[in-house]
Every structure is written in structure tokens, then in C-alpha cells.
Structure 1
Amino acid sequence: MKLILPIEVADEIKPHLPNDTTFVRADVDGNIDGDATDAEVYFSWLYYIKPTTLQKVLESAPKLRWHQATNAGVNNILTPQYLEREIVLTNGAGLHAIPIAEFVITYILSYAKNFQKLHELQAQKSWQRGLINEELQDKTLLIIGAGGIGQEIAKRAKAFGLNIYGSRRHPQPLLNFDKVVGANEWKALLGEANYVVIATPLTKETKGLIDAEIFSLMRPDAYLINIARGAIVDEPALIKALQTAKIAGAALDTVFTEPLPPESPLWTQPNIFITPHCSGHSPKTKERALSLFLDNFTRYYNDQPLRNIVNKDAGY
């Protein structure tokens, strides 16, 4: 059995492989250091897989049967060329959940405790008192997408006394959530939410989901936080909502075009917090990614059910 392994960790994986396996290495651009025509396993590493990278790998490995991705979102992987092949795709759901959840709490606290204004005052050497710092107790958090990441967010937010609502395609009671509703029912909860977090995958149904209608339903003191995919938010509608005070602010760890161009008006909007798609980064992510792959490879090798199989029709 032959594998295609990321050049970054291939040597770390090698000691854990059975003796009857071989491997070739692939870099971030999809260049492979050997013959992959008989490879049936592809492990892609902790970076956004470019279409050109994926195309190179697919063309080099016509017998590919299983692909382990480290991304939770796989919208960039499910290309027409990919979907033509009978490849089992497993994703990295759970690898990034803890650091992302901690980032969401950071975003929320930064707004509640006026961090932006306090940093400005420090830079001005101004000892200004009287700022209103909100408490999170009894505020309401709405998490659009109560999957693995959403549940880690709820776990941490509940400790601050927030009321927590969530949505998912198939609603069911979940630990730390006060209410879980169906895929479209969350819109009726926007009027109660002080913080709205986007944690849903990017699919045909969710592209442009957060639009002018959604901003009109949100509270004027509410904050939008996007740690999912930039294309879920209608950016012109967001800019207008910020400029007209339809909402109080937004935190974006992901945007439609990445890197965000210097000329983008998002950079200069009032009360917006932009981070460079880094909320999922953690020194522990590598350890989790290797552990997931090796566990799934053992399952694959022994013809056992794999973890994190992606439903290609649903897109996640």
C-alpha cells in the first residue's frame, strides 16, 4: 500500500506505518517526490488546499481511494474534478475547535470590556475613567452551527453565565445550550442575541447566508463573529450595517478574499476586529492532526469504519 504524505511530517509518520507500506511526499503546491500512480491514501496538511494543488495530486494518483484532510471545512476540496472520483474524504473536525472557541471568547470579552477603547487611551496616555464595561452574565449568544466547534464555544461561554442558543440541520438538546433550533429557525432568535457567532460550514445553502435581511433582524447593540468561512457573509451588506449602526460591530477571522486586500473597505469600518484567519492555530493542532490520521489509517488498513467521513452531498 502506498501513501502520499505531507512533506512537513512524513518522517514523523514513517515509524508508525506497517512494514508493507511505502510513501511519497507532497508539498504545499502538490509536487510529489516520486511515483504516486499506485497511491491510494492522501494525507493533506494544515494549510488551505489550493485548487492547483488538489488538481496535481489527483492527476498524479489515479488510484486514490481515501483522502484525510486536516481542514474542518472542505468547500475548497469538493471541486467537480474531485467529485468525479470515488474518493472517501475525511476531514479534520475537532482539530481546531479548542483554539477557535477560545478566540471567540476573546472577541466577546474585547467588546464587553472595551478593549479597543482602552488600548487607544493607553496609546494616548489618557487616564480616562467612566467607561461602561458590560458583564456577560445573562447576555445571549447565538451560535449558527452547533457542531463540534459550536459546542466547544458553548462550553466556555456557559461559564460566563451567557444564555446560549444554537442551530443545526437536525436539532437536538445539547449540553451547555439553552435552546437548539433547526436550520432556518435561528432567524427568529436574532432579536434576543447580543452576540451572533457563525460556525457553520460553507455550502451552497450557507453562501451569502448573513445578508441585509439578517442584519435588519439583529439588535443594534449586537456583534457578529465569523470564524467559519468568509463567503457566508455578504460583505457589502455587512459594511452597510456597520456604517448605518444596524449592528454594533463585527469580528472577522475569515473574509471572502484572503489575504484581505489593502484596499478593502473592511479595514477601515467602525468597530470591526479583523484577524488573519488564525483562530484555529495552536501548537497542539499538529499533535491532534497526526493522532487523527494515524488512528484513521489504522482503521483504513484494517477495513474498519473511518472517523469524520464527509457527506459530499451536504458539503461537510
Structure 2
Amino acid sequence: MNEHIVSFVELDKPVINFINSHNLKLTLAKDLSPLNYATVTIMLGWDKHLSEKILNAPNSQLKWIQTRSAGVDYLPISTLNKRNITVTNASGVHAQPIAQSVMADLLYFTRGLNQHVKNTNNHEWQANGNHFVLSDFTILIFGTGRIGQELAQNLQVFGVKTLGVNHHGNPIKGFNEVFSLENYPQALKKANIIINILPGTTETHHFYDPKFFAKITDLFLFINVGRGASVDSDALLKAIAQHKIKYVALDVTELEPLPIDDKLWQIPEILITSHSTGLSYDYDQRLSKIILSNLTSYFTDKTFVRNVVDLKKGY
């Protein structure tokens, strides 16, 4: 059977050259005819409306999906698993952009830039000493994958003590200590900043719930660059109102886009960055390197060398 690739991604020249040199059929998503839905074998990117039509076409030949994102919780995971469709994600593409965005969040609040923005808008020349240096803090990162490791190593340069939480609790470069997920309360006692980078799974849905926030007494900053559904918004708002958390930076929220009348917009202690921390001007070029690696291996020996998702785990 001839391979038919449909792409939602702007591919760079090396990928195009590979496709042409192997005489593969490439169709841009906008040019795909319904008559050809069933012939698609490889999908680069995902669009809910069109991708599900391809997936559900009678006699669909789809066997590999490469996503533009690291998280895959928006995919019909159970269907893909049953049909043995391979999914590879964009893990690694986001490491530097997200880590640097988190560093910006940290400096924004610790160096008092949030107050200076207000002063600028109010035309007020006002200096105060209510600023901190990052080494004053112990930072707890939930999720020690590529993004977490990049961030932890950045923080080490600033002299920050970094704690990590993952499933196994084994030591990882960049972290002073790593705790297993079941033992996270031990780490919580030591931290005054929390950063969530956990993937979106049934296990992490509303992980940050009333019980979690009840364990917090005086948190300087809570940052979420993982998945919006990991945080119970009502519980978070209550924790802020109770002064358990001083500041919050949210790149992701339970509802996206966040409704204009949502309470999260109304809290001055919250910074919302509209799911943009992973973006960069050359995003698709970065992604193309992953695509080319897997195309090369796939058409050599039918294997994938990068970022195969465990569909049973969901990440």
C-alpha cells in the first residue's frame, strides 16, 4: 500500500525532501478531499473536526499520528489504542520555551515587576524593597520530564534548591531531591513555590484539589504550565482567598479559551498567559526535526526513535 501523509504542520525543507525522495504522497490538510480520507496512513498534527473524519472513515488505513503538542489528552486515546495506531508527540520541542517562560513568571513576581506594571499604568513613581532573589526559595516541580529537567537546571544556575515529583522518585539531574508521587506531601512541607508540569491523565485530573491545597499554609507562587484540568479552579480560588497562596501564574485553565467573565480574570494576584508558554517563532521547524527522525526510522525498519506515547498511560 502506498503511504499517504496528510499534514496540519508547516514542514521544513529536509522533511519535504525526504518525502519527495521516497515518493510518498503528501497532502496539506486544507487540500484533502473526503474521497481520500480512508487512504491517509500518516497524520502530522491533529484537527478535531477533520482528523476524526479521517480516523472514522470506512476502511481507514491510518496507522501513525504525530501531534504538535506534548500532551495528548485531547485525542481519542481508547480508540487509537484498540486500533493499534501509533502516536508520537512533540515532547522536547517545548523544553526551552516553557522553561524560559516559567523563569519569566518567577522573576515577574519575585522581583516585583507585577507591582511596577501597576505603577506604570497609574503613572506612579514608586520604589519599595519588597523584592526577593530566587535563591531565597525552594521550588517544587511536579513533573520531571524534559521540561522539568530544563527548568530545574536553569534554576540551579540561580542557586535555587529544586525538588521534583514523579512516579518513581529516582534521582534526576538538576534536582536536589526527587520524591515519588505518593510521597509528595513530604516535598510540599519544604517548598514555597510550586510548578505543575504533570501530563493530563485520569490520575492527574483535579490533582490540585481542596485536599491538596489544605496541605499548603504559606505558598509564595503557584504556576501551572501542565494541563488546566489538573487544577480545581474553585479550590485554587479558595486557597487564594484564604491567603494560602500569594501569587498564581496560569498558562493553562480548565476551560480554554477562558470565558471573559471567569473569576480567574478578576483576581489581581493571578497572571494568565493564554496557553502560550510553549510557543516560539520556529515551532514547526523544531517539530520537523522530530518528524524527520521518525520518518527516517519508520521507512528504514518500521520503528520510531522519538517520543512514542504509551496509550495505556496517556503520555
TM norm structure 2: 0.92
User: Where does residue 81 of structure 2 map in the other structure?
Assistant: 83
Structure with more helix by fraction: 2
Structure 1 segments of 4+ aligned residues over 4 angstroms from their partners = none
**Deviation of residue 52 (structure 1)?**
3.0
Q: Please give the secondary structure, in 1, of the residue aligned with 2:38.
A: coil
Q: Please give the secondary structure, in 2, of the residue aligned with 1:134.
A: coil
User: Where does residue 57 of structure 1 map in the other structure?
Assistant: 54
Please state if 1:276 is matched with 2:279: no
**Deviation of residue 140 (structure 1)?**
0.5
Moved more, 79-88 or 250-259: 79-88
Between the aligned partners of 1:167 and 1:224, the Cα distance in structure 2 is 15
Counterpart code for 1:55 = E
Between the aligned partners of 1:142 and 1:78, the Cα distance in structure 2 is 32
Matches within 5 A, 1:254-265: 254-265=252-263
Equivalent residues, number: 309
Change (3 A) 1:256 1:59: same
The answer to whether the 8 Å contact 1:144/1:197 transfers is yes
Counterpart code for 1:101 = A
Between the aligned partners of 2:134 and 2:92, the Cα distance in structure 1 is 26
Matches within 5 A, 1:64-213: 64-213=62-211
Deviations 1:139-163 (A, max 9, x none): 1110001111111110111111110
User: Where does residue 37 of structure 1 map in the other structure?
Assistant: 38
Deviations 1:170-201 (A, max 9, x none): 22211110001112212222122121010010
Please state if 1:14 is matched with 2:12: no
TM norm structure 1: 0.92
Between the aligned partners of 2:287 and 2:162, the Cα distance in structure 1 is 29
Between the aligned partners of 1:175 and 1:11, the Cα distance in structure 2 is 33
Counterpart code for 1:196 = I
Identity of aligned residues (%): 30
Q: Please give the secondary structure, in 1, of the residue aligned with 2:17.
A: helix
**Deviation of residue 15 (structure 1)?**
2.2
Between the aligned partners of 1:40 and 1:296, the Cα distance in structure 2 is 14
User: Where does residue 3 of structure 1 map in the other structure?
Assistant: 4
Between the aligned partners of 1:24 and 1:2, the Cα distance in structure 2 is 11
Moved more, 154-163 or 127-136: 127-136
**Deviation of residue 50 (structure 1)?**
4.9
The answer to whether the 8 Å contact 2:219/2:246 transfers is yes
Between the aligned partners of 1:214 and 1:11, the Cα distance in structure 2 is 44
**Deviation of residue 289 (structure 1)?**
0.5
The answer to whether the 8 Å contact 1:193/1:218 transfers is no
Counterpart code for 1:132 = N
The answer to whether the 8 Å contact 1:101/1:153 transfers is yes
Deviations 1:237-293 (A, max 9, x none): 001111121111210000011000001000011400111100000123221111110
The answer to whether the 8 Å contact 2:227/2:253 transfers is yes
The answer to whether the 8 Å contact 1:24/1:35 transfers is no
Q: Please give the secondary structure, in 2, of the residue aligned with 1:310.
A: coil
Please state if 1:23 is matched with 2:26: yes
